[in-house]
Amino acid sequence: MQNISKEDYLSAIYKYRETDGTIKANRIADKLSISNAAVTDMLKKLANDGFVDYKRYKGIRLTKNGEEYAKNMVRRHRIWEVFLHQIVGMPWDKVHEEAHNLEHGASDELINKMEEMLDFPEFDPHGDPIPDKNGLLPKQRHTIPLSLAAKGEAVEVVRVNDFDNSFLKYLSGIGIKLNKKLTIKNVLGFDKSMIISIDNKEVNISSTIAANVFVHRKN
Amino acid sequence: MQNISKEDYLSAIYKYRETDGTIKANRIADKLSISNAAVTDMLKKLANDGFVDYKRYKGIRLTKNGEEYAKNMVRRHRIWEVFLHQIVGMPWDKVHEEAHNLEHGASDELINKMEEMLDFPEFDPHGDPIPDKNGLLPKQRHTIPLSLAAKGEAVEVVRVNDFDNSFLKYLSGIGIKLNKKLTIKNVLGFDKSMIISIDNKEVNISSTIAANVFVHRKN
DNA sequence: GAATTAATTTAAGCAAGCTTAAAATTATTG
DNA sequence: CAATAATTTTAAGCTTGCTTAAATTAATTC
Ligand SMILES: [Mn+2]
Ligand SMILES: [Mn+2]
Ligand SMILES: [Mn+2]
Ligand SMILES: [Mn+2]
């Protein structure tokens, strides 16, 4: 397509649509930090390109083509993130921005080559799933927010919300990364903050932090 | 700067300016496949930004700032080329285009990291010099076009012209790559084509091919 | 169900980066 | 040095992607 704007719109629609597949223009505008008028404008173009179904004042949803395109963009983004993290050694709080600036430029050939180098990773550095070359996603894992784990439970970190870099940096600062095992030592009734054991050290994390870390139960 | 067009103009001016540092608008238009009118337009903007010295109908040259910026773009491009070639295994006839599409997106931080991973390469996959972080170029090597080598000479490939992919592909097809050693077995008077020995095989190459391969004498 | 509020679209306009055609300037040459 | 040629600039106009303000439509609430 060779059009950064359109690609960003498609990615955003895919990423932020509701479970029924629809999305409000409002939300797109929000996520892209752009006016509603601009969104209306672009929706007409995307509809014209056959990427979205759109009737004025009615709902918005990706067509089959649009979903395919968007999913490929997500794939490109996440493979970049893994590559930057694993191969280049970039910390997980910096890969998103860098990947975002590279995802439009790389050829599919390069993306596929990187994927191969990485041995076909299924998840990005934040635990988000990577669609394969055919658009297939790895089978979904059942996770719970760390904030729902109870005193005494042993869990493994499986995914973290990736929309705030300082949050990610904080996490790695206290030793939390993907696949890390934690034990919940205590949950304070006062503010629902948790004392967790990680690498044999104990740290206290707020309930807000805990709500943005997703885990598997291990016992 | 975050402006792909301007960056491409600066790179082109740097790359294609004459030895006295000037360049004609004409030539920029040519190299960027763009109209002269568009070039005039952009020159005003670049002058306004302090990147070029420009007076209408007079010569064009980069300011100190402009040269610095341009040199950094060349650096970014060439480090990408080395990275794609060495780390990702992309053939030398494909790295230029891919690097061109990535050079605007990457952060300087990423570029520096890649440079370090590559152990501070001095030349790109086609033998072109890479400015270091401070804009310093490796000291210039004295080379001659292969077409000027004489029967019996042993030479080493040091640089190839990189503006035609099929040429590059042809070269690697017959085993020519950077640092390769060759011996000139014969030069045909008829068309100045050469018979060279490479990896104990003999191949005939046209004088045009030979004129675009640059070598060191080895004896 | 009418009134209010929220969401969306239209209208008008702007900047960037192009185009072609015409005009102006500079360079070359007979 | 005058004529011609080459180069560069100006003028007018187009598309893309954005903006704000006003108008329209849909959704919510009393
Ligand atoms: Mn991301
Ligand atoms: Mn991610
Ligand atoms: Mn190149
Ligand atoms: Mn090169």
Of A103, A123, A139, which one is at a domain's C-terminal end? A139
Contact by Cβ (8 Å): A107, B98: yes
How many CB atoms lie under 10 A from the CB of residue B11? 23
Judge whether A47 is closer than 8 Å to chain B, CB to CB.
no
CA A79, CA A124: separation in Å to the nearest integer? Answer: 7
Q: Are both A124 and A149 inside the same structural domain?
A: no
Q: Are both B81 and B104 inside the same structural domain?
A: yes
Look up the pTM and report it: 0.93
Q: Are both A39 and A94 inside the same structural domain?
A: no
- Name beta bridge partners: B205: B194
Q: Which range marks the domain in which residue B107 is found?
A: 70-139
Contact by Cβ (8 Å): A141, A158: yes
DSSP letters along chain B, please?
Answer: ---HHHHHHHHHHHHH--TTSEE-HHHHHHHHT--HHHHHHHHHHHHHTTSEEE-TTS-EEE-HHHHHHHHHHHHHHHHHHHHHHHTS---TTTHHHHHHHHTTTS-HHHHHHHHHHTT--SB-TTS-B---TTSPPPPPPP-EEGGG--TT-EEEEEEE--S-HHHHHHHHHTT--TT-EEEEEEE-TTT--EEEEETTEEEEE-HHHHHTEEEEE--
Residue A159 C-beta-side C-alpha neighbours within 13 Å: 16
Q: Quick one: pLDDT at residue B156? A: 97
Q: Are both A134 and A172 inside the same structural domain?
A: no
Angle between helices A4-16 and A25-32 (to 10 degrees): 120
For chain A, report the end-to-end CA distance as a whole number of angstroms.
Answer: 48
Of B89, B114, B139, which one is at a domain's C-terminal end? B139
Q: Quick one: pLDDT at residue A219? A: 75
CA B26, CA B39: separation in Å to the nearest integer? Answer: 8
CA A106, CA A94: separation in Å to the nearest integer? Answer: 19
Q: What percent of chain B has pLDDT over 90?
A: 97
Q: Are both A132 and A151 inside the same structural domain?
A: no
For residue A1, tell me if it sits in a domain: no
- Nearest chain B Cα distance for residue A212, angstroms: 28
Q: Are both B135 and B157 inside the same structural domain?
A: no
Q: Are both A119 and A180 inside the same structural domain?
A: no
Q: Are both B135 and B151 inside the same structural domain?
A: no
Distance from the Cα of residue B124 to its chain's centroid: 8
Q: Quick: pLDDT tens for B128-150.
A: 999 999 999 999 999 999 999 99
For residue A18, tell me if it sits in a domain: yes
Contact by Cβ (8 Å): B80, B103: yes
Contact by Cβ (8 Å): B98, A110: yes
Closest by Cβ to B102, choosing from A94, A106, A113: A106
Q: How far is the CA of A42 from the C1' of C10 (A)?
A: 14
For chain B, report the end-to-end CA distance as a whole number of angstroms.
Answer: 48
Q: Quick: pLDDT tens for B164-202.
A: 999 999 999 999 999 999 999 999 989 999 999 999 999
- Contact residues on chain B for A98, CB-CB shorter than 8 A: 106-107, 110
Helix (H) or strand (E) holding A40: helix A36-48
Q: Is pLDDT at B219 greater than 80 in this prediction? A: no
Of B76, B121, B81, residue with least CA distance to B97: B81
Q: How far is the CA of B27 from the C1' of C15 (A)?
A: 26
DSSP letters along A48-111, please?
Answer: HTTSEEE-TTS-EEE-HHHHHHHHHHHHHHHHHHHHHHHTS---TTTHHHHHHHHTTTS-HHHH
How many CB atoms lie under 10 A from the CB of residue A50? 12
For residue B19, tell me if it sits in a domain: yes
* Minimum-distance nucleotide, CA of A4 to C1': D17
Judge whether B98 is closer than 8 Å to chain A, CB to CB.
yes
For residue A92, tell me if it sits in a domain: yes
Of A111, A139, A167, which one is at a domain's C-terminal end? A139
Q: Are both A13 and A58 inside the same structural domain?
A: yes
Chains A, B: CB contacts within 8 A come to 39
Find which of B4, B77, B88, B115 to mutate to test the A interface (most A CBs within 10 Å of its CB).
B88
- Name beta bridge partners: B123: B129
CATH of the domain at B94: 1.10.10.10
Which residue is associated with the tokens 């998840």? Answer: A123
Contact by Cβ (8 Å): A63, A50: yes
Q: Are both A148 and A200 inside the same structural domain?
A: yes
Torsion-angle region of B52 (φ positive above 0: left; ψ -120 to 50: alpha; else: beta): beta
For residue B88, tell me if it sits in a domain: yes
Contacts of residues B195-203 at CB distance under 8 Å and 24 or more positions apart, as own/partner, are: B196/B146, B198/B174, B199/B175, B201/B175, B203/B174, B203/B175
- Nearest chain B Cα distance for residue A98, angstroms: 7
Q: How far is the CA of B13 from the C1' of C20 (A)?
A: 25
Sign of CA dihedral B99, B100, B106, B109: positive
Q: Are both A92 and A47 inside the same structural domain?
A: no
CB pair distance less than 8 Å for B102 and A98: no
For residue B1, tell me if it sits in a domain: no
- Contact residues on chain A for B110, CB-CB shorter than 8 A: 84, 88, 90, 98
Distance B52 CA to ligand 3 centre (A): 23
Please give the tally of structural domains in chain B: 3
Per-residue pLDDT averaged across B65-74, rounded?
A: 98
* Minimum-distance nucleotide, CA of B38 to C1': C18
Q: How far is the CA of A35 from the C1' of D25 (A)?
A: 18
Q: Which amino acid is at A189?
A: G
- Structure tokens, B144: 């001659």
More confident residue, A115 or B2: A115
Q: Are both B80 and B116 inside the same structural domain?
A: yes
Q: Please list the pLDDT of chain A residue by residue as tens digits (219 residues).
A: 889 999 999 999 999 999 999 999 999 999 999 999 999 999 999 999 999 999 999 989 999 999 999 999 999 999 999 999 999 999 999 999 999 999 999 999 999 999 999 999 999 999 999 999 999 999 999 999 999 999 999 999 999 999 899 999 999 999 999 999 999 999 998 999 999 999 999 999 999 999 999 999 987
- Name beta bridge partners: B145: B214
- Nearest chain B Cα distance for residue A106, angstroms: 7
For residue B23, tell me if it sits in a domain: yes
Which residues lie closer than 8 Å to B31 by C-beta, 6 or more apart? B12, B15, B16
For residue A112, tell me if it sits in a domain: yes
Judge whether B110 is closer than 8 Å to chain A, CB to CB.
yes
